[in-house]
């Protein structure tokens, strides 16, 4: 099992740098940054700064999307960061959630997502690529031929299939082992149907964590199911409540929540904010199942279950308070069980 953290991008700059060093020294493998350039500050300049203080950990946005930057601009950023870090850059990409919706735009289609991955991969590899946004083919002769690892974020059946077809890995934005397994099987089936060897396919599960008592933990992390709920509600809406395309637990989650989804007034200005008004409809059982909350043994046990379900990397959304302590607890009491 690999371990990662994800920064939201609103921590004090020097504190972010110190945590980057702490994370690398503690044996984590990845540092990700949320890519939502309006709500928080630009992810890529922070990645560049953090790289100056580490030698080993890998970096990437969690997640970017095909609509926010022209593809040549995006490819130039990824190739530049890769060169500067000695080859430590990945990309995780989804259809676009907060960074699009906060501007009143819609997420990209899966076809656009697929083409953007091809475009960015090709340009970063140093080959010429033509696309609608650029009258001339784009050719970056300075990328040193980097083979950019691409992770695809998905919840719904069609997006999961695409993740299996074109991704090096899948991003699952929750840490419930049963749901992870359901997502993973669909992605792998999609890849196999496309004739790919899926034995090295990677799966990242991400969620906030709290080491300590359950009651406090639920309070600190209940913003997260509210975030996830927007995605899940979209899927339940699209594929129906009574089909076998969507597992009962997802449907039940949507039924137990009350309040506004993405298209019904969810306030993206308070996206991923602890104590935000978006959370009132999340019940404690859902929070416990989507996050990891409790003493260290509970974390180890749940991570073993996630591993058995096919998860290869667990990434902590580091936005729930006590950030340095949580990293230290994972280093001392959790990660050693997986080495």
Partner 1 sequence: MEFAFTIRGDMDKNRVVAICRQAEAADFDYAWFFDTHVLWRDLYPQMAVAMEHTSKLRFGPCVTNPQVREWSVAGSLFGALAVQSDGRFDIGVGRGDSSVRVVGKRPATVARMEQFCEAMKGLVRGDPVTYDDRPEPVTFDWTGGYELPLWVAGYGPKALAAAGRQGDGLIVQLAEPALCQWMGDAAKTAGTEAGRDMKDYRVMACAPVWVGDKETGVAQTKWFPALVGNHIADILKWYGSDTREVPEALTAYVQQRKGSGADEGYDYKQHTQMDDENSYYVSDETTEAFCLIGPAEAHVAKLRRLEAAGVTQFNIYLCSGEEERQIAEYGEHVIPHFRQQ
Q: What residues line the site for partner 1 (CB under 8 A)?
A: 10, 13, 17, 37-38, 40-42, 44-49, 51-53, 68-70, 72-73, 76-77, 79-81, 83-84, 102-104, 134-136, 138-140, 142, 269
d(CA 217, CA 26): 23
Please say which residue, 77 or 160, places its beta carbon nearer to partner 1: 77
Please say which residue, 132 or 242, places its beta carbon nearer to partner 1: 132
d(CA 29, CA 130): 34
Min. distance of Cβ 279 from partner 1 in angstroms? 20
d(CA 290, CA 302): 11
d(CA 18, CA 11): 11
Please say which residue, 47 or 166, places its beta carbon nearer to partner 1: 47
Please say which residue, 99 or 287, places its beta carbon nearer to partner 1: 99
Please say which residue, 134 or 147, places its beta carbon nearer to partner 1: 134
Please say which residue, 126 or 247, places its beta carbon nearer to partner 1: 126
Min. distance of Cβ 70 from partner 1 in angstroms? 7
Min. distance of Cβ 275 from partner 1 in angstroms? 16
Q: 191-206 burial string, b = 16+ CB within 10 Å, else e?
A: beeeebeeeebbbbbb
Residue owning tokens 């960015």 = 120
Q: Is 137 exposed, middle or buried (0-12, 13-18, 19+ CB in 10 A)?
A: exposed
Min. distance of Cβ 1 from partner 1 in angstroms? 30
Min. distance of Cβ 72 from partner 1 in angstroms? 6
**Kind of pairing, strands 134-138 and 129-131?**
antiparallel
Please say which residue, 104 or 145, places its beta carbon nearer to partner 1: 104
Task: Name the CA radius of gyration of the chain, rounded.
Answer: 19
Min. distance of Cβ 264 from partner 1 in angstroms? 16
HSE toward the beta carbon, residue 79, CA cutoff 13 A: 23
CA-nearest of 7, 54, 70 to 34 is 7
Min. distance of Cβ 141 from partner 1 in angstroms? 8
CA-based torsion, 205, 209, 212, 217: positive or negative? negative
């Amino acid at each position: 099992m690999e371990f990662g953290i994800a920064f939201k991008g609103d921590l004090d700059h020097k504190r972010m740098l110190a945590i980057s060093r702490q994370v690398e020294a503690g044996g984590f493998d990845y540092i990700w940054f949320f890519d939502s350039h309006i709500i928080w500050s630009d992810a890529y300049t922070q990645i560049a700064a953090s790289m100056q203080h580490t030698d080993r950990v890998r970096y990437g946005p969690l997640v970017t999307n095909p609509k926010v930057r022209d593809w040549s601009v995006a490819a130039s950023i990824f190739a530049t960061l890769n060169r500067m870090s000695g080859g430590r850059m990945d990309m995780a990409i989804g259809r676009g959630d907060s960074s699009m919706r906060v501007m009143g735009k819609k997420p990209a289609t899966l076809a656009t997502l697929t083409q953007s991955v091809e475009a960015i991969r090709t340009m970063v590899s140093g080959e010429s690529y033509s696309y609608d946004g650029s009258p001339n083919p784009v050719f970056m002769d300075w990328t040193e031929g980097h083979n950019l690892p691409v992770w695809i974020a998905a919840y719904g059946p069609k997006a999961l299939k695409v993740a299996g077809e074109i991704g090096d890995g899948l991003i699952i934005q929750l840490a419930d082992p049963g749901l992870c397994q359901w997502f993973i099987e669909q992605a792998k089936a999609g890849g196999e149907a496309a004739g790919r060897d899926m034995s090295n396919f990677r799966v990242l599960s991400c969620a906030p964590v709290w080491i300590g008592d359950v009651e406090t933990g639920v309070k600190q992390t209940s913003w997260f199911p509210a975030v996830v709920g927007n995605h899940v509600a979209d899927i339940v809406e699209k594929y129906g409540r009574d089909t076998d395309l969507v597992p009962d637990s997802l449907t039940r989650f949507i039924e137990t929540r009350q309040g506004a989804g993405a298209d019904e007034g969810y306030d993206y200005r308070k996206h991923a904010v602890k104590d935000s008004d978006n959370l009132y409809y999340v019940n404690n059982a859902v929070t416990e199942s989507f996050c990891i909350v409790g003493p260290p043994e509970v974390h180890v046990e749940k991570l073993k279950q996630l591993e058995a379900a096919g998860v290869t990397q667990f990434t902590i959304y580091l936005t729930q308070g006590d950030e340095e302590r949580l990293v230290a607890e994972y280093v001392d009491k959790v990660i050693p069980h997986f080495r």
